[in-house]
Amino acid sequence: MTASPAPHLPGAVLRPVRGHHAFEACVEQLATAIRLGVYPLGSTLPPERELATMLHVSRATLREAMAALREAGLVQTTRGRGGGTVVTLKPRTPPARAAARISAARRGDWLDALEFRRIVEPGAAYLAASATLDQEHLGQLERAHAEVAAATKTAQHRQADSRFHLTIASLSGSPRTVEAVTSVQATLHEMLLAIPVLGTNIAHSDRQHAALVRAIESGNAERARKTMEQHCDDTAALLRGLVG
């Protein structure tokens, strides 16, 4: 069965490229979207013209970025009628003893990202719960939550978890908040690949996700913020303990 991206996420996560380094920025944004499962394995990226419009770059720049993604093994492109660019990157599972191989500099950057996350994601949850959400928005949140609960494989669960957090950010209605949460989720994704998968932690996380959904759907912004703070704190404590 061909996978499909969550319809609301690409438009929220992919943002206009700023600055003079359009090629590098395109590669970064598209690769991040693929690794976080915005475009899961087997899904087809939007047509070239549509992606170029979303990123505010020329089609020539986009073609160069897509070539880089192909060379890195993230996508595969077929030409002609019925063709397109399909995601080929398989979600990764944590290798054994990966945390022991992390450099001091990277470890410091990761720990800083946890502090940044503690500021950004609770704010995103607060904004989402404060917003006037229609049935479409509520459906996006419930589907994202259901995908996390239904994921049976570790790597799929990690991507579904990222999509859940990105969905909450998108419901904030703030593009800068989405940009910040995307950045911190990309770093968190790297960190979680460095530690073993712990069933107890996943079960605890799933309960917190359910509490977040209830708080946002009921419009309880303060409870949503506090629940996300606790969620971030618990994940940070686990990562600090295992990553060092």
Per-residue pLDDT, averaged over 128-149, amounts to: 96
pLDDT, tens digit, 9 for 90 and up, residues 221-238 = 999 999 999 999 998 888
pTM exceeding 0.85: no
Which CATH entry fits the domain spanning 98-243: 3.40.50.720, 2.40.50.250, 1.10.10.60, 1.20.120.530?
A: 1.20.120.530
**CA dihedral over 227, 229, 232, 233, signed as positive or negative:** negative
Per-residue pLDDT, averaged over 149-169, amounts to: 91
Q: Per-residue confidence at 154, pLDDT binned at 50, 70, 90?
A: confident
**Burial class of 91 by CB neighbour count within 10 A (0 to 12, 13 to 18, 19+):** buried
pLDDT, tens digit, 9 for 90 and up, residues 15-37 = 898 877 889 889 989 998 998 89
User: Can you give the pLDDT at residue 1?
Assistant: 46
Which residues are CB-neighbours of 159 under 8 A, at least 6 positions away? Answer: 36, 37, 40, 91, 151
What CATH number belongs to 19-87?
A: 1.10.10.10
User: Can you give the pLDDT at residue 241?
Assistant: 81
